Structure formats: structure tokens, C-alpha cells
Chains A and B, each alone.
Chain A
Amino acid sequence: MTELAITARGLTRRFGELTAVDHIDLSVEKGRIFGFLGPNGSGKTTAIRMLCGLLTPSEGEVAVLGRSIPAEAEKLRLEIGYMTQKFSLYTDLTTLENLRFMARVYGLAHGQRRQRIDEVLQQFGLTELRDRQLHAMSGGQRQRVALAVATLHRPTLLFLDEPTSAVDPQNRRDFWEKLFDLSEAGTTILVSTHYMDEAERCHRLAILERGKVRRDDSPQALMAALEGRVVEVSGSGLRALREQLMARPDVVSAAQQGSRLRVLFDEETTAPLDRLQAAAQHQTCQLARPNLEDVFMAATAGERR
């Protein structure tokens, strides 16, 4: 059995009437990239804050790296790194000043400090930007600084809360390369996102919606489970067809993508291709490979109905 970096049982957080995180169970294996996928307000940030010991859970038990959270959160400070959703470094300081400040706060030994700072500057391509104040940087550049800071003290567990929300696709890919490097080196990473392409890169994924974990598996397994339930329709009159399909009880979702309509059937439906062809006589239908979007739609269907 693989070792677990994080276990959570029945983790819950209420804000007054609202239950932001609702009895979630998590098992995050060491050395893996674990993803939280969910729309805004689904409780990703709240869950991460509880796992870091920043928020006290209303209910439930959490163990991070073998320690009970939030009681023993202080003992974990050197072992975890946290990249907040809202940019949290000092924008009126330069890259180097931010790194130096955090290195001293983390208590890195004097001799070790310079060496380690040089190392992360190099690792994240920040050498050129070392003397620039952060307010004069692009989203992607700031993101790299934030990741450099989060990994400065060589944490074994990294929490990244929507790290790429202010980053363009190219920089996003580069950012993920860095994450894979870190993962390769043994760091456990918990990352939240609302991008499907990012979610697909995770080793394991928990789909959150309204504070609940709807699915929890590897992206591949999640997609494979939908095999045979997704049909693509091409042709004309798709808008009208969509209206018609959405009203049917056996259709989970119908979403237009360019000149195609992507239709997801529910679990009980047998032979969806034939059923659809019967409804769409002037269009061509074919089975499609399920993607994460479909997984997400299927996972959250119960709530929308």
C-alpha cells in the first residue's frame, strides 16, 4: 500500500447557513499530483485552507503528513508550501527581496540561503527578473515567483490554489512542466483548478461541486467510465435539436461545440447512438471519446436536475 500524504474524513466547513465544504473524504498519495476540479464557489479554497490548518473545520478529521490538523498545524509549517489563489507576495518588493524575506522567515541558515535562492531563481527562470518589483510583472511571471517562494524551503507537500488562473495557455504548459519536475523529485502536490486541460494532467482528481466531492479517481478512469455515453451530432439545425434533446429525461447534457453538438446520455440509457439517430434524422451521429467536460457534466448532473 502506498503512503498517504493527506487523509480527510467527513471534512466540513460551514459559514453561517452556507456549507462551503460538505463532508468530503480525501486520500492523497505521496508523490502524486492530486487535483481539485470545480467551478467558482465549489469549496476548493475552503478545503485547501482547512488542509493547511488556516481554517478550523466545522466537522471531520484531517491528517496531513501524519499529523492531526489543525491541532498540530504549526509543526508542519516547514514541510508544506502554499500558493494562495489571491496573489499574496509583496508587490512593492522585488523578486529577490521577496525570496530573501521568505527564506529568513522560514529560518534557512545564512549560508544556505543564497545558494537556495540562486537555485530557485534558476529553476523557475527568474534570474533576469530578480531585481524587478512584482507589480511590474505579468501574471505568468508573478506565478513563477509565487511558485519559487512556495518551494523555497523544499516542502514535501505543496498546496496550489488555482495557480494558473492569471496565466496564458503557453505559460500554463510551462508551469505544469515545473510541477511535473517537482512531482518527479518526490513532492506531493494538491492543485485546484477550473480548467479541464489542467485537471487532465493530474494523477488523481476530485470533482467538487457545491462543497461535495462528486467523483474521485484518475482522470483516465473517470473518462473511461463514460465510454459509450457520449454522442456527437453534426449537420444543420443543431440549435433546435439541442432544445429538443435537453427536454428528454435520458439526456444529461447537450452542448454545442462549433458545428457539432455533444450529447451526454445518462447511465441507464442503452444504445444511445440509435436513440439519438432516431431523434436527429437529418444529421449524422457518431460515438465520441468522453472528455473531462463530460465527466464533469455527468458528475454534477444530479444537482442540476
Chain B
Amino acid sequence: MNSLGRILAVAHKEFLQLARDRMTFGMIVMIPLVQLLLFGYAINTMVRNIPIAVVDLSGSAAARVIIEQVRVNQVVDIVSYLPTPQQAEAAVIAGEVRAALIFPRDLARRIASGATVGQWLVDGSDTTVSQVLLGLRNMPLRLDAGAPAGAYQASEPSFEVSLFFNPERRSAVNIVPGLTAIVLTMTMILFTSLALVRERELGNMELLITTPIHPLELMVGKLVPYTLVGLVQVVIILGLGHVIFAVPFAGGLGTLAIATLSFIAASLTLGLLLSTIARTQLQAMQLTVFILLPSILLSGFMFPYDAMPEVAQWIAEALPATHYVRLVRAVVLRGAELHQLSGDILWLCTFTLVVLLVATARFNKRLD
């Protein structure tokens, strides 16, 4: 009874402090907002508008048709027409264009015989860009082998078929749900890792530990307000992601809430554990980064989990963010149900419990 009262007292106190701390309060809203816009707009893994040059030695109508088709897919932006392949090569080397498309003099004959119709000169120094152009390589050949005019409307690019949940390959769809995992990792761990250290640095802890409060009460009390903060952040990211980037929402809100709460709890307790290790606020921040970096790189948010080496996968499995990236994508993009997700959720809950107990055991009511 007293115990609940003390937990509520700590939670209430944290709320009051949080509400008055404009800086932290601003961060709660600004971090998800900035990250969302940053990842949504600037970091676009779908490549568009690559500058290229065209050299048409045939001067035929077929070449113009192919050029038109290349142009409409928006992957490339034709910035110049050059008279000779040598000039095109020079432009690629100079970096004026990323690639050049060259049509030979005997284009019409090549089309008729089904041979290669043209050549791409590609700048391989940016692998992302070259990969996209390599993919593009095959497109006009197939389209125009039979009937040059209008054939592309009937043809179906093969990659659309294989991509179930993101047919237009918009990266925002994949990035935004995963981003919730990263933003929560960042803010949840940071706030709580600072929470105890700050009280220690400001001297509040010395008074607090002379009261009857139990470490577990203190810990749980501190988790309550930040849990709500985490939920607010998820709503901001997924809500704005839906509005601005048209990220679909396939799953149930309840399922998402349960998955999210279990991840928030895991991150918060991890933060508490860090704050029993850190001696200063600076150390707490460094420890947070220590968790945050692998969470960004290994959780599957940036690079596909399946493509990682086995050791990296082990590390990834130990990070709460990995499990949540899986969960949130499953719920938001694939509409997965709770019973399909029980493995990851159970893992997060177990993690929370274990870490909370370890943190409580580490926090003794002594100064030495």
C-alpha cells in the first residue's frame, strides 16, 4: 500500500519536473519530428533523378522512343545530349553525369535481330547509383524488342511483382515504422540513463536514500512518465508518417500498443541499468550512444537482418530494437496479429524483468 503510494509519488514528481524542463520537453517532440523528416525526405534509399547523358549515333525514331521511356521512369534525368561516345566518357569521368546511354549507328538492325541495342557507361564509384542503373540496363531492351512504339505500357517491370508490401518501393514505408524503434531507443534510454545520475549529481539522491523508499519503487516510479512519453513519440512518428509519407497502417492499434509498451519498458529499464553504471551525466550519454549505434546499424532498420554475418545477428538479437523493428513492421505493414508476434514480445518482457532486477540489485542505498 505504502509502496504504491511511493511509486505514485515518484511518478508525480517526475511528471512535474518533466513538464517544467522545457529543454527535455522540446526534445520529446522534436527528436521524433526531426528524425522523421530527415529519414523520410533526405535519406531516400530509392534513387531518383540520376543525371545522365545520351549519345545517339543512329538518329532513328526507335532511339527517340527508347529515350522517352527511359525518361518517364524518373530514375534518370537526361541532362545532356552529346555527339560522340568519347565526350560521354569524359563527362562521366568528370562527374558531370553518372552514366551515359549510347545508341550505335545500326540501331534499327540490332532491334530487328534482337541483339543488344545500346550501351550504358556507368560510374561505378557510387554503388547504390550503379546498382540502380544496372537494374535499368535491361529495361529498354525487353520493351522494344518487338514493337517499338507504346510497348512499354503493356510490359510489366519484374520487380513490382516480387515486392509485396511496398509496391512502389518507397523507402519511407520501410523506414518510418523502423524509425520508431530508433527514436525510442534514443530517447527512452537517454532519459532514464540520465534520470538517476542527475539526481546523484544534483545531490537529491543523498536525501532520497535516507528515506524508506525501496530502490524498486524508485525505479518503477521513474518509468511511468517516460512510458507515456514513448507512446506520444510513437503516435507522432506513425501519425505524421501516415499523413506526410502515406505510410499505410495495416495492423491493429491494440497489437501495436502491446508491442510498443513492451519495447518501451525494455528500453527504459536498460536506461536505468546504465544509470546505475554511469557516474556522471556525460558517461550516461556515452553509454546511451554505445547502445544506440548498434541499434541503428544492426536492428534491421538500416540493413537487412538476413544479410548480416552470423556474429552480427547474435548481437542484433540481444538488442531490444531488433525485436521491435520486427514487431512494428509486422504490425504496421503486414497487419500481423498478436499471436503471430508472441516470440518477440515475450523476449522484450523477459528482458525488461531481468534488467529491472539487475538494475535494482545494482542500486544500493549507499554512497560508497
Residues of A within 8 A of B (CB): 49, 52-56, 70, 73-74, 77-78, 80, 82, 84, 86-93, 97, 100-102, 104-107, 149
Contact = CB atoms under 8 A, between A and B. Distances in A.
Interface string B236-271: 000000000000000000000000000000000000
B9 A77 contact: no
A55 to B, nearest CB: 5
B203 A107 contact: no
Contact of A77 (B202, B203, B211): B211
Interface stretch (B12-20, B48-56, B298-306): B12-20
B203 A88 contact: yes
Contact of A84 (B6, B17, B207): B207
A218 B209 CA distance: 32
Contacts of B109: none
A106 B206 CA distance: 15
B363 to A, nearest CB: 14
A93 to B, nearest CB: 6
B339 interface: no
A55 B210 contact: no
Contact of B367 (A49, A89, A93, A100): A49
Contacts of B5: 104, 107
Contacts of B213: 105
A106 B17 contact: no
A86 B208 CA distance: 13
Contacts of B21: 92
Contacts of A97: 13, 16
Contacts of B13: 90, 93, 97, 101
Given A101-B12, A105-B211, A54 B6 contact: no
Given A56-B368, A88-B204, A104-B5, 16 more contacts: A52-B210, A53-B366, A54-B209, A54-B210, A54-B366, A77-B210, A80-B210, A88-B205, A88-B207, A90-B13, A90-B17, A92-B16, A93-B16, A101-B12, A107-B2, A107-B212
A92 B9 contact: no
A16 to B, nearest CB: 12
- Give the secondary structure class of A's interface: loop
Contacts of A80: 210
Contacts of B2: 107
B171 to A, nearest CB: 42
A87 B12 contact: no
Nearest to A103: B9
A18 B3 CA distance: 40
A104 B9 contact: yes
B8 interface: yes
A18 to B, nearest CB: 14
A82 B6 contact: no
Interface string B10-35: 10110011001100000000000000
B206 A54 contact: yes
Contacts of A82: 206-207, 210
A74 B6 CA distance: 16
Contacts of A73: 365
Interface of B: 2, 5-6, 8-10, 12-13, 16-17, 20-21, 202-213, 365-368
A281 B10 CA distance: 71
Given A104-B8, A107-B5, A92 B20 contact: yes
A242 B214 CA distance: 58
Nearest to B367: A54
Nearest to B217: A105
Given A86-B203, A92-B20, A105 B212 contact: yes
Nearest to B214: A74
B116 to A, nearest CB: 72
18 contacts: A49-B367, A54-B209, A54-B210, A54-B366, A74-B212, A74-B365, A82-B206, A82-B207, A82-B210, A84-B207, A88-B205, A88-B207, A92-B17, A92-B20, A104-B6, A105-B10, A105-B213, A107-B6
A86 B199 CA distance: 12
B9 A87 contact: no
B276 to A, nearest CB: 17
Nearest to A49: B367
Given A55-B368, A101-B9, A104-B5, A88 B206 contact: yes
> Which of the listed residues B10, B211, B366 has the most CB atoms from chain A within 10 Å of its own CB?
B211
Contacts of B12: 101
A149 B6 CA distance: 16
B9 A70 contact: no
The 4 closest A-B pairs by CB, nearest first: A104-B9, A88-B207, A86-B203, A107-B2
A73 B21 CA distance: 34
Nearest to B21: A92
Contacts of B212: 74, 77-78, 105-107
Contacts of A74: 212, 365
A192 B119 CA distance: 89
Contacts of B10: 105
A55 B366 CA distance: 6
Contacts of A89: 204, 207
A153 to B, nearest CB: 9
Contacts of B6: 104-105, 107
> Which of the listed residues B5, B210, B212, B213 has the most CB atoms from chain A within 10 Å of its own CB?
B210
Contacts of B205: 88
A84 B203 CA distance: 8
A248 B12 CA distance: 65
Contacts of B208: 88, 105
A80 to B, nearest CB: 7
